[in-house]
Chain A
Amino acid sequence: MTDEGIINLFFARDEQALTLLDESYGGKLRKLSLGITGDKRDAEECVNDAYLAAWDQIPPQRPLRLFAYLCEITRRISLTRYKYNRAEKRSAPTVSINSELEDTVAGTVDDVSDLGSLLSGFLAGLDGQTRYIFMRRYYYADDVAAISSLTGVSRGAISARLMRARKKLREILEKEGYMK
């Protein structure tokens, strides 16, 4: 069924919408959440919470891109879960995407206002391929191997591009006064 059809089922309050949603996007969303939370059970719960949130929000909302809309909700819930696990020092395994960014944010101020705009500017300055790789890694939480498989670029080259992009982001943070 098309996204439009699924959304129509949401509007009709037909619970079949959730089943179809899971069949269409469940695997990808769980992968996304797993990349952030690092825990299969957490990922499962986050995706279920995302479905519930979608059920509550549609209607009145009518997303133009259903998958992107679900990704956004799943990311938000997964990040909240990750922070909760980490704050409570629960046994969440190391999440490499966070550890990769630690050098980038080291020594920065606590104020993160306007960070979204700064990141937009940063992404605009990247070439298309590097921007794609950066977003796959830090927005969709794909691992390097998955990005390599998706793009046909070797894993070493992807790691190198990510490293250069993080370095560039760090330079922009420094330039824009985000350093202590």
Chain B
Amino acid sequence: MKTTDILESLSQVDKKYISDSAEEEAGRIFERKSKSAVIGRIAAVAAVAALAVFASFIAISKRNDRVTASMIDRNSGLSHSFTKEEFNKSSYTQKGGDDGETKVTVPVCDIESPGDGETVWGEDYVIDGGSRLLTVDRDYSIKYDEKEKKSWLIKTKDGDEIYRVEQTPLFTDRGLLWWKELNGGLLVAAYKTMGTVEEETEASFALLFLNEDGTERWRTKYLNPVGTHPEQLLQAYYDDGKIYIVSVITEDERRPVLDEEGYREAYTGNELCHGFALTVYDEKTGEMICRNSSEASIETQMLGVHCIGMTGQGFVITLSPEDLHDEKYYVLLGYDAKIVSVCRYNSNYEFYSASSIGDQIYLSGKYTSYTEHTCPMGRELFSVIPHTYSNYYNNTDYYKPDSKLTKEYKEQMSAALLVCDGTLTPVKVYRQNGSFGGKVRAEGEKLLWDVCEITAAYNNKGGDTKTLRSAAKTFEINGKGTLISSAPSDASYVMLSYRTATASK
């Protein structure tokens, strides 16, 4: 007997079992014992609406009291206070359709800051991407046929050049798309773009794994990753001898335009998210182990798509849709590349690092108390600085201790750690004022959360960007999501802030 015999024979079972297992029967068979259902029953029994409201209040309070009591360990020595916050969680279908919004009351634990730390100016820790093993840089010095010819360089820590990728003239563009230190080597994604007479481009990429001395461990051939749609590499992760490459599949947006011949479809120049792909490579040989993909038609700005972490449940990807200037989608992509859930949280929260312990997913980021319309600074967006550029922003000429800007950031920004269940539904939140959240990472049975107290904020040379520097400390959280302790850290995280076009309105 083969496994497919079982699957085939299921077609021969009593037809009522097939019809009873249709999607629409789920509600009947699994009567949801949700909070509202419980409240509804109480209301029915009491036949008094006011009593039902009161009962629901009691039910939520008791539940939250139990949760808050377990949020901070008694021996941690950390001062804190509890509040509650109604969290809007929007769920979306895989095709991007709105499935409606649910309100979840989540306990919030505000941790009091132990005091002002000192700015760390040393070597930067990068929240995601980059490498401290080797340096990747660009060389703009060479000119070719009056066209600028750029080279990508990889150097050792001593400054010795060990690898160079040069662009070729005319229609071919080559370069390094992305790099990351993994398991004692540097994984590099190189891209090659071929132009055609229609001025359309077709990008392909190759992966190469360099040892610390610059020798190649392996490289793949240039691939056009998918047939009909281009693909952009988002992030790579290493686990147990495998390299996981998370990428987004894009498509060009087309909309009807009116011209002399009437309406016709035309490319708008925007890229839309068409779906995601997960490709797994053998770390030792570079051979592809498997590749899966799924569709998710979400209108988004491609620059706003990031993979922020690998968890036990899958990969957390953020998307910034074009029509939602202050909100993001958070997509949980399973290990089979299928979308587990797509959520959108309150706009005051923004997360850029994800990890997990057991059944819970943790998202680290920031919480801002202002909105686009009330913020005196205008609305700010935040991004992690690629390692290559972090030194560029380490420009102390523009740093003024106790500046107004630093004070504003400290007053209005908090580090936030959102604890979610395995489907990204919020369970509870930790916050610390005057900080932004660094990386969240699992170590054994514990979760380590780097919180960065803002110590300096200054305008960068030219442009609207600002740099936020910090003194970091590391919180330890156990497998039950309880904050156990905190300790100073010598790590220094750097965050870049920039104003969006909407802020100038």
Contact = CB atoms under 8 A, between A and B. Distances in A.
B374 interface: no
Given A68-B18, A93-B290, A132 B9 contact: no
B1 A145 contact: no
A53 interface: no
Given A72-B11, A76-B11, A119-B12, A136 B5 contact: no
Nearest to B291: A93
Contacts of B2: 105
A51 interface: no
Given A135-B21, A145-B423, A115 B9 contact: yes
User: Which of under 10, 10 to 19, 20 to 34, or 35 or more describes the interface residues of A?
Assistant: 35 or more
Interface in A108-153: 108-112, 115-120, 123-124, 128-129, 131-132, 135-136, 138-140, 143, 145-146, 148-153
B1 A79 contact: no
Contacts, number: 138
Contacts of A5: none
Nearest to A153: B30
Contacts of B293: 40
Interface string B422-461: 1100000000000000000000000000000000000000
Given A65-B19, A119-B13, A132-B20, A105 B3 contact: yes
User: Which of under 10, 10 to 19, 20 to 34, or 35 or more describes the interface residues of B?
Assistant: 35 or more
B8 interface: yes
A85 B429 CA distance: 48
Contacts of A148: 423
Which label, helix, strand, loop or mixed, suits the secondary structure of the B interface? mixed
Interface in B5-58: 5-15, 17-23, 25-26, 29-30, 32, 34
B1 A110 contact: yes
Contacts of B15: 68
Contacts of A169: 6
A61 interface: no
B334 interface: yes
Contact of B8 (A76, A109, A136): A76
B81 interface: no
Given A105-B1, A120-B14, A131-B21, A154 B422 contact: yes
Contacts of A101: 3, 6-7
A27 interface: yes
Interface of B: 1-15, 17-23, 25-26, 29-30, 32, 34, 95, 290-293, 295, 334, 336, 338, 340-341, 359, 421-423
Closest 3 A/B residue pairs (Cβ) = A116-B12, A135-B21, A108-B1
